Amino acid sequence: MIQGIVLVGIGSFLFHATLLYEAQLADELPMIYVGSIGLFIVFDDEPGYGLQSRRSKILIALLLLFDILFTWS
């Protein structure tokens, strides 16, 4: 999670320093990915780090689908 926040900071610096489209993607996409990880952490209330529950698997699938669609759009 910390590495993702660092990546957001680097991408944000690059975007605001250059104002290039590629740098904008380096700013926005890590924000979405780190946000998805944060949502999974908040809404997955199963103990441990395993994917035993059906709810965890559905949550990962939905967040992954959202990330793919957002990146593609």
Along the 73 residues of the chain, how does pLDDT read in single tens digits?
889 999 999 999 999 999 999 999 999 999 999 999 999 988 887 777 767 788 888 999 999 999 999 999 8
Among 72, 68, 67, 69, which Cα is nearest to 32's? 67
Distance CA 12, CA 9 (A): 5
pTM: 0.84
| Predicted local distance difference test score (pLDDT) of residue 46 | 76
Distance of CA 41 to the CA centre of its chain: 12
